[in-house]
Amino acid sequence: MLLFLLTDFGSADTYVAQMKCEVLGMCGDGVQLVDLTHHVPRGSVREAAWHLRVSEKWIPPGSVVLAVVDPGVGSGRRPVTVTSGRSYYVGPDNGIFSWLPPDRAWLLPEPPGISRTFHGRDVFALAAARILCDESWPGTLEETPSESLVTLEEGACTRSRWGLSTSVAHVDSFGNAVLWMSSEDAAGFLPASVVSPVGTRVPVRKADTYSDGCRGELLLLEGSQGYMELAVTDGSAAELLALSAGDGFTIEGSSR
C-alpha cells in the first residue's frame, strides 16, 4: 500500500508526522509513505494543484494521495475524496484537484470532537487510512458529481504578431520558471527577448539543456515536466526577471 503526501506544512513542526502517525496507527507498517513535497508556499492551492498535475502520471495505480493545502480549514469548504485513474486523492474541495482528470467524488464525514484547525490529521489522514485499509469504503459515502468540485482556471499561452504571452505556473528550487506553455505552443517560434512584469527586456534564446548557454544567459527550453521553462545557466531566471508563480509576461519573437 502506497500513500503519497503533499502539504504546505514545511518541516519545522510535527504536523506532517502527526498525519503519518494517524495513518500508521490504523494501517500498521504495511503502508509505505512517500512525501511528494511539504514545501508548497503557504496557502497556495494553485501551486498544490500544479504539483498534483505534474506528478499524477508517476503515481502507481492503486495508491492514495493525501493532499492538504487548506487555508479554509474549519469553514464551509467540503472535505472530499476523488478518484483519478486508478488512484484515490483525499483533501479539501478548494480547487486542489482542479487539474487532475477526476472520475468520481465522495464527501468525507467529519468525526465529532475533532480540531477545527487541523483537518489534515483529524479528517483527511483518517480517511486516507480507511481507504488504504478498505478500498470499498468510499462506496459507503455520499457521492457528489465530479463536475461539482471547485476548479481553478488553467494558465494559457497565446500567440500574436509580437510574440507569445503566457504566465508562470511554478518556480522551482533552482529558480527555473515553468510556464503555461507546451512545446507545441513554442513550435516554430524563434524567441528574441522576454519582457518581464516590471518592464525590463532580457535577451533569450531556445536551448535543449540548461548547460547550453553561457554563464548568466537566459534560455527557453522544454523541461522534464513537459512544459517550457525559462532558465539561466548557473543562475536563476526567477531572480533575473523578478518572476513569481502566476505572473504574466511576453516573449517577443525574432524577425530573423
Residues 88 and 32 in one domain: yes
Residues 57 and 30 in one domain: yes
Residues 73 and 17 in one domain: yes
Residue pair 185/228 in contact (Cβ under 8 Å)? The answer is yes
Number of domains present in the structure of the chain:
2
48: cell is: 498544490
Residues 175 and 58 in one domain: no
Q: What is the pLDDT of residue 119?
A: 97
Residues 109 and 230 in one domain: no
Give the ranges where the chain is alpha helix by DSSP (H): 15-27, 45-55, 119, 126-133, 237-241
Task: Find the CATH number of the domain harbouring 12.
Answer: 3.40.50.10790
| Boundary (domain end) residue, out of 122, 148, 174 | 148
Q: How wide is the angle at C-alpha 36 spanned by C-alphas 226 and 103, nearest 5°?
A: 70
Confirm whether 153 is domain-assigned.
no
| Boundary (domain end) residue, out of 148, 178, 209 | 148
Q: What is the pLDDT of residue 255?
A: 65
Other residues' Cβ atoms within 10 Å of the Cβ of residue 225: 17
Residues 192 and 242 in one domain: yes
Whole-model pTM: value is 0.93
Q: What is the pLDDT of residue 156?
A: 95
Q: What are the distances in angstroms from CA 97 to CA 42, 89, 124, 128?
A: 17, 8, 14, 15
Residues 75 and 25 in one domain: yes
What is the domain range of residue 52?
2-148
Q: What is the pLDDT of residue 214?
A: 85
Residues 176 and 201 in one domain: yes
Residues 13 and 85 in one domain: yes
Residues 73 and 167 in one domain: no
What DSSP designation does 134 have?
A: -
C-alpha neighbours within 13 Å on the C-beta side of residue 176: 19
pLDDT tens track, the chain, 256 positions: 899 999 999 999 999 999 999 999 999 888 999 999 999 999 999 999 999 999 999 999 999 999 999 999 989 999 999 999 889 999 999 999 999 998 999 999 999 999 999 999 999 999 999 999 999 999 999 999 999 999 999 999 999 888 999 999 999 999 999 999 999 999 999 999 999 888 889 999 999 999 998 899 999 999 999 999 999 999 999 999 999 999 999 999 986 5
Task: Find the CATH number of the domain harbouring 213.
Answer: 2.40.30.90
Residues 125 and 6 in one domain: yes
List strands edge to edge, sheet with 102-107.
32-37, 2-7, 64-68, 87-92, 79-84, 102-107, 143-144
Confirm whether 137 is domain-assigned.
yes
Residues 120 and 237 in one domain: no
